[in-house]
Structure 1
Amino acid sequence: MKKAFFLLLLAVFAFSLVGCVENPPVIEDTRYTLTDLTGKTQSQIEAIFEEVGITVQFREVQSSTVAAGTFIRYVGYNVGDKVETTVSIRIEIAIPVPSAPTINGADEASVYVSVQGNPPTFDIYAGVTATDFQGNDIPFGNFFYVLEIKDSNQNTLSEVNFYQIGVYYVTYQAMNSGLSTTVTRTINVVVPPFDTNNTDNLQLAVSYAGKSFINDGIGVVTITTHTDADTTNFRDSVTGERFTVRYLGIDAPEATSKYEPWGIKAANFVRETLDNAETIILQAEGVRTDGNERYLAWVWYIKDGKTRLLNLELVEEAYAWTSAVASTQYGSIFVTAQAETQLTGRRIYGEVDPDFDYSTGGTPIEIGALLDNFNDYIAKKVTITGVITSKVGNSIYIEQNNRGIYMYAGYNMTNELQIGYEVTIQGLVPAVYFQSKQLSNYTIDNMILLSTDNPVTISTIAANQVSQYVGRVVRIEDLTVTQIQLSQSGLTTDAYTVVARDSNNNTINIRVDDYTAKVVPSYTFSVGAQFSVTAPVTQFNSGYQLMLPGMGSIEFNN
C-alpha cells in the first residue's frame, strides 16, 4: 500500500516536470547596452541617457586626438556592456590640450604720413585680437599688449611716429596657461598721393545768385584778361565793372615781371581752368584790396555742376604756396593741403620744370632778330644790348639799330636805368601780353652799363604810321582830343586813355597808366584841346597806342 502510494507521488512529480519543460516562465532583461558615443557632445550624451533614466557623470580630459567637447570613453565600462538603469556611469569628455594663444589682425599696413592740421588716425590696437586655446578672447591688458615698437634702424620707440615717413615694427604679445605668442607687424608710413582730395570735398556754401562781387562781396564774373597764376582780370556780371583780382591765400611762381620755374605752367593751368569753367564766382573775405589796389578774392568755378576753389586747387596741384591763409575761413584746409602736397616733392616742391630756362644769361641776340623770331624765344632767356629811349614808370623801352622793344620791370624802382644809357641786360624772358611783344625778368644784378648820354632818335610820324614803329619813340603833332576814356578797373581809377585825331583825321590812342596818371591826371586833357606828344609805340591787342611817359611828353598848342 505504501509502495503504491509512493509510485503515485513519483508519477505526479514526473508529470509536473514534463509540464515545466514544455512551458518555461518568461524573465524580462531591464539592463541597458552601452553604445558607441564617438563624436557625440556632452549635451547629446545627456539627452540619450536621460531617456533611459541612467545618471551620467562627466569628467573632462585633455586630448589632442579627440575633438574638444566630444566623447572619449566610458570609465569602468566598455561599449556593448549591459548596465542596470539604476546605476550611475562616468564618461570622459575631451577638452583641448593647452596651447599658445593666437593673434589675428596684425597684418602689414600702409599709412599716409600725418601733417600739420591732419593728425594721425591710425590705431595700432584697432582690429588686432587674441584668443586662447579654447577660443576665448584675450582683451588688451595684462595678458595681451604691445611688447615693443621699433623703427627701421631698430631703435626702440614709445610709439609709431606717424609724422615721419619710414618703416615701423610693432610687436604684440599674448599670454595664456603659461604659454605666449608674439607677432611683429610692419607699418609703412608713406607719402600721401598727389591728388586734389581737399578741393574735391570742399563746396561753396554761400548763396551768390543775383549778387555782385563789387557790391556784395560775392557774385558771378567773367574773364577779361589773364595775367598769371594768382592774378586775373574780371568783369562783374551785375555792375559791368572791370577789375583785377589777386587770389587770396596763395602765392604762385612769377610769370610777369619775373619768371620762375613752373610760373608759366601755373599761369596756363589757371587760364585753361577758367576758360573752360561753366561759371566763375568770386568770394571776398576781410580786407577787400591789397597795396596795389587789386581786389582780393577766393576764386570759385563750376565744373560738372560742382563748385571748386581754384586757390586751393593750385596748392594741391603744386602750382602755388599758401600765403597769409591761417586766419581765413579756409585756413586749416589750405595748411593741410600744402603739407600733404609738399611731401610729394612735385613741381614747385622739387621737380625740374622741363620748359624753364635755368641759365643765368640766356642767348645773346640782337633786338631785331629777337622780334623777327619772337615765338622761338618765348619763355627762354636772352641777353640784349641797346639804348634806353623812354621810361614809363619803372619799365623801359630799349632800341638797337632802329628796332625797339618794351621791358616790363614790375613795381621795383629802377633808378639805374635812365634814358640815353646803353646797357646790356642778361636773363630777360620774352613774353606776349595783350598780343604785345615784351621782355621781363629784369634784375639789376644782370645789367651792365656800357655808356651814358647816348642820343635818342625820335621820328615824327602821322597817326596812321604807328604800327611801323612798335617799341620805338615817335612824335605826333597837331593832335586834337576827341574823347577821354576813364578806366573801369575797380579801385584803380587813375588810368585813362586819350583818344585824338591828327590833321589828316587819323585816330590815335594815348594810354596813361596808373603810374603816369598820378602826375598827369585825366583833367590835364579836355575834349577839343590841341597838342603834340612824344612817346613810345606799343601794341595792345589788335591795335596800337602810345604810352605816355609823363608831363614832359606833352606840348599843348594853346
Structure 2
Amino acid sequence: MTLLRKPYPIVLTHEEKKMRKRYLKLALLSGLFLVGLTSCTQNQPDVTSKASQEENSKDSSVEFVDYVKETHLNHQYKDKQFLKDGIGEVTLVTKVDGDTAHFKQVAGDTGTIKGRYNCIDTPESTGMLEPWGKGASKFNGDYLTKAKHIVLSTDVADNGGQEKPALDSTGGRYLVYVWVTDVENPSIDDFINVNLALCQEGYSKAKGVSGKEYADAFTNAAVQAQTLKLHLWSDEKDPDFNYDNPVKIDLRMICEGYDTEGNKYDWVGSKVTFEAYVAGVGPDQGAAYVCNDISWTDASGEHTQRYGMYIFTQYIVYKPLQTIGNFLEISGTVAEYNGNLQVVDVSYSDYYKDDYDMKILSTGHTDKVEPFTGSAGTFANDKYINTMVTVNLVCTGGYATLNTATSTAYSFTLYCKDKDDASQELNIRISDSLAINYPNTLTRIRDNIPFFKGEKTIAESINNGKNTDQRKVEYISITGALVKYITTKGKVTYQVNLCRSKDLTLHMSAE
C-alpha cells in the first residue's frame, strides 16, 4: 500500500453535500455567500499573474487591466502610527490565512495587531478547509514575507470619517488594507494593495465595498477575474484541496504516523475518522482537546498508551465538543501547527445532517480523561503532546502581550521550573482568548509580589480588591494541555496550555 488518500471509490456527493450545507447555513444566517480571490502582475512577489496568463493565452474580447498596478496608497504614512492615526508602517508577526495576518507597529505601541483584510473574504484554510483556501493563504504569505516595507491603512468609511483604526464585526481584529513594496526607500506610489491583488487573482469576490475608498477597483477586479474564470471562478478543481472521503483509523496511527498496514505515513493533509473522549474545552472558542487510550500487542508484549489531539473549529461552537467526558466519532483533516498535530474542518448540526458530522457515541466518561499528574521533567516529552496534565511549577519569568484590539486582554508566557526540582523546566501558556485582563498578574507571580486578599486564581486576581494580603505566591498548580513550542531560533520547548482560567491556582505562603 503506497497511499491512503483514496482507499475507497470517490463519492463526490459527500463534498458537494458538505459545501452545500455550509453555504446554506451561511446564507440563512447572514444572507452572504463565499466567493473567490484574484491576483495581479506586480513587482512583488516575482511571479507571473494567472490573470495576465489567462488574458494572453486566448483570443478574448476582455482586455486585461492591472487594477492593482493602477491603485495607489492615497495617504502619507510616515511619522504616523496605525493604532493612533489609522495608517502606519508595521512588521509582520505571522500570516494566518488568505485574509488575516498579525502585525506590530515599527514605532509606538508594540502590541499585536490582528488584521482582517478589508473588502475581501478568502476561502478558509485553517479551522475549516475550502477549495482555493490554501492557494489564497500562500499567495498572501508570498507578498508579506518578500516585502521590504508593509503599511496598514483604514478605510474612512469604516470609522465614521475619523482618522483612527476600525474593528471588524468580532471586535477583536482591525479592518485593514495591507500595502507592500519591495523597494528599499519607497514613495507611496511604490506600494501595492494585497487585498486587491487577492481579488484580482480570483481568490475572493469583492465583499462589503459599497462606499469604500477603493470600491471601483475591487468591483472591477472581481468582475474581470470572474470573466477570466480565475481560481474560485474557474470550472477546475483546486489541485491543493483534498476531495476524498475520510479514512477510519485511530489516534495512535495519526500520532505515531503509520498506515493501516503498518507502513510509515504522514497523515497531515489527509481526511480521517477516529473515536475519542473530550478531555478539555478551549482555550480557543469552540475548540477542544480529545484523547483515547489505545491498546495493542507486539513482539515485546502488551501496551496501552493515551494519545491526544487538538480539535480546532475556527471559533465555531459545536455541541459535542463542549462537554468533558463525551465519547465522539470525529471526522476531519489532519493539520500541523507549530510542531503539534491538530484536526480541523470538523462539522456538526442538529438540523443539516451530514454523513461525516461528529457523532456523540456516549456521554459521562470523565473517568476516561483524568489528567496525568507528574513533574515538569515527566511532561517535557512528546509522549504527552495534546493530553491533559496537572503539574506544580514555580514561575521564574515571562512576558505578557497585549491584544491591541481589546486594549485589555493579554496573552502570557510564564517561564517555570518544577516545584521540587529546579533543573526541570516547563512553561505555561495563557491565551488572550481567556480574557485575562489584569496585566500585573504576571508581574506579581514572576516577582513574588503579594496578591489581593482572598485571591487564589488568575481569574480572581482581576477583581482588584482593596485590602492587600502580605502572603506571596510560593508555587502554581496548573491543569492544561501539554503542547510543544518551537522558538524562532529552532529551540524546542514544552508548555502547559491553560484551557480554563479556574485551572490555574496560586499557592500562597503561610505569612
Partner of residue 462, structure 2: none
Unaligned 5+ segments in structure 1 are 1-187
Paired residue for 1:382, among 272, 289, 303?
Answer: 272
Q: In the TM superposition, what is the alpha-carbon distance from 1:551 to its structure 2 partner?
A: 3.8
Structure 2 counterpart of 1:252, one-letter code: T
Partner of residue 434, structure 1: 338
Confirm or deny: 8 A CA contact 2:151 2:180 kept in the other structure: yes
Q: Equivalents in 2 of 1:264, 1:498: separation in Å?
A: 30
Confirm or deny: 8 A CA contact 2:120 2:206 kept in the other structure: yes
Q: Equivalents in 2 of 1:552, 1:274: separation in Å?
A: 38
Deviations 1:198-255 (A, max 9, x none): 0011122322223222222212111111100100011111123322100011000001
What secondary structure is seen at the aligned counterpart in 2 of 1:325?
A: coil
> Does 1:554 find its partner at 2:504?
yes
Structure 1 counterpart of 2:314, one-letter code: G
Higher relative contact order, structure no. (Cα contacts within 8 Å, ≥ 6 residues apart): 2
Confirm or deny: 8 A CA contact 2:340 2:385 kept in the other structure: no
Partner of residue 515, structure 1: 433
Deviations 1:423-464 (A, max 9, x none): 1111x1222223332221121141011121222142212223
Q: Equivalents in 2 of 1:367, 1:382: separation in Å?
A: 10
> Does 1:394 find its partner at 2:313?
no
Q: Equivalents in 2 of 1:270, 1:447: separation in Å?
A: 32
Partner of residue 202, structure 2: 318
Q: Equivalents in 1 of 2:191, 2:413: separation in Å?
A: 41
**Structure 1 length-normalised TM:** 0.61
> Does 1:209 find its partner at 2:78?
yes
What secondary structure is seen at the aligned counterpart in 2 of 1:228?
A: coil
Q: Equivalents in 2 of 1:199, 1:413: separation in Å?
A: 38
Q: Equivalents in 2 of 1:537, 1:486: separation in Å?
A: 20
Paired residue for 1:340, among 221, 224, 229?
Answer: 224
**Structure 2 length-normalised TM:** 0.67
Give runs of aligned pairs for residues 213-362 of structure 1, distance below 5 A.
213-239=82-108, 240-285=110-155, 286-287=158-159, 288-290=166-168, 291-303=170-182, 306-350=190-234, 351-359=236-244, 361-362=245-246
Q: Equivalents in 2 of 1:399, 1:441: separation in Å?
A: 18
Q: In the TM superposition, what is the alpha-carbon distance from 1:521 to its structure 2 partner?
A: 5.6
Partner of residue 180, structure 1: none
Higher strand share: 1
> Does 1:459 find its partner at 2:328?
no
Q: Superposition RMSD on alpha carbons, in Å? A: 2.4
Partner of residue 449, structure 1: 360
Partner of residue 14, structure 2: none
Q: 1:494 to 1:488 in 2, by over 3 A?
A: closer
Q: 1:209 to 1:552 in 2, by over 3 A?
A: closer
Looking at CA atoms only, which structure, 1 or 2, has the larger radius of gyration? 1
Partner of residue 407, structure 1: 311
What secondary structure is seen at the aligned counterpart in 2 of 1:341?
A: helix
Paired residue for 1:476, among 391, 401, 420?
Answer: 391
Confirm or deny: 8 A CA contact 1:247 1:299 kept in the other structure: yes
Identity of aligned residues (%): 26
Give runs of aligned pairs for residues 527-542 of structure 1, distance below 5 A.
527=445, 528=448, 529=473, 530-541=475-486, 542=492
Q: In the TM superposition, what is the alpha-carbon distance from 1:319 to its structure 2 partner?
A: 1.2
Q: Equivalents in 2 of 1:327, 1:435: separation in Å?
A: 43
Count of paired positions: 366
What secondary structure is seen at the aligned counterpart in 2 of 1:429?
A: strand
Q: 1:540 to 1:220 in 2, by over 3 A?
A: same
Deviations 1:261-308 (A, max 9, x none): 010111011111211112111111233111241111110111356311
Deviations 1:307-360 (A, max 9, x none): 11100000011112221112110011111111111122221113310121123x
Q: In the TM superposition, what is the alpha-carbon distance from 1:384 to its structure 2 partner?
A: 2.1
Confirm or deny: 8 A CA contact 2:88 2:153 kept in the other structure: yes
What secondary structure is seen at the aligned counterpart in 2 of 1:557?
A: strand
What secondary structure is seen at the aligned counterpart in 2 of 1:214?
A: helix
Structure 2 counterpart of 1:331, one-letter code: A
Confirm or deny: 8 A CA contact 2:111 2:401 kept in the other structure: no
Q: Equivalents in 2 of 1:522, 1:366: separation in Å?
A: 42
Structure 2 counterpart of 1:352, one-letter code: K
Confirm or deny: 8 A CA contact 2:320 2:326 kept in the other structure: no
Structure 2 counterpart of 1:332, one-letter code: D
What secondary structure is seen at the aligned counterpart in 1 of 2:252?
A: helix
Q: 1:430 to 1:330 in 2, by over 3 A?
A: same
Q: In the TM superposition, what is the alpha-carbon distance from 1:553 to its structure 2 partner?
A: 1.7
Confirm or deny: 8 A CA contact 1:432 1:438 kept in the other structure: yes
Partner of residue 486, structure 1: 400
Q: Equivalents in 2 of 1:196, 1:480: separation in Å?
A: 61
Q: Equivalents in 2 of 1:325, 1:338: separation in Å?
A: 11
Confirm or deny: 8 A CA contact 1:484 1:496 kept in the other structure: no
Confirm or deny: 8 A CA contact 1:196 1:317 kept in the other structure: no
Structure 2 counterpart of 1:412, one-letter code: I
Q: In the TM superposition, what is the alpha-carbon distance from 1:190 to its structure 2 partner?
A: 4.5
What secondary structure is seen at the aligned counterpart in 2 of 1:333?
A: helix
Q: In the TM superposition, what is the alpha-carbon distance from 1:396 to its structure 2 partner?
A: 0.7
Partner of residue 422, structure 1: 327
Partner of residue 16, structure 2: none
Q: Equivalents in 2 of 1:457, 1:508: separation in Å?
A: 20
Q: Equivalents in 1 of 2:91, 2:65: separation in Å?
A: 25
Deviations 1:528-558 (A, max 9, x none): 3223111111223343211212244234433
Structure 2 counterpart of 1:271, one-letter code: G
